[in-house]
Amino acid sequence: MSALAILIVIPLAILGVQMAQASDPYVKNVLSLMGNPVQGKAIFQINCAGCHGLEADGLVGPSLQAVPKRKSRYGLIHQVISGETPPMPKFQPSAQEMADLLSYLEGL
């Protein structure tokens, strides 16, 4: 494949993935909601702090400080709900809870 073809294919593939992600009803719902970081911190402390630390600075799981600089909002949602990276469990928060958790994580 030529360099020009690669330069064309990669952005189109990324755009296709982003379009598929944006069409997911759960993600669309989460992203349409205003998150409450105080509620998000409570959700984090109950469900995540055991591995990521009370201040999200890492423990068994990695630090989540400045995580939005490393993962997109969709990437964060997917990470939380997928359970694809053991030992992190699959977590199925409501859309509002996920919006709250995103709001908290974005403030770290």
Q: What is the pLDDT of residue 10?
A: 54
Which positions ≥6 away from 16 have C-beta within 8 Å?
A: none
Domains in the chain and their CATH numbers? Answer: 25-106 (1.10.760.10)
Amino acid at the residue 69: K
Could you count the other beta carbons within 10 Å of the beta carbon of residue 52? 23
* DSSP 3-state of 56: coil
Question: Where do we find the tokens 């964060």?
Answer: 76
Q: Is the pLDDT of residue 21 over 90?
A: no
Q: What is the mean pLDDT of the chain?
A: 85
* pLDDT tens, residue by residue, 36-51: 999 999 999 999 999 9
Q: What is the pLDDT of residue 11?
A: 52
* pLDDT tens, residue by residue, 81-92: 998 888 888 889
pLDDT class of 3 with cuts at 50, 70, 90: low
User: What is each CA distance from 45 to 22, 69, 76, 88, in whole angstroms?
Assistant: 28, 21, 17, 15
* 108 vs 101: CA distance, rounded Å: 11
Q: What is the pLDDT of residue 86?
A: 83
Helices and strands, number each (H, E), in the chain: 6, 0
pLDDT class of 7 with cuts at 50, 70, 90: low
* pLDDT tens, residue by residue, 64-104: 999 999 999 999 999 999 988 888 888 899 999 999 999 99
Q: What is the pLDDT of residue 31?
A: 95
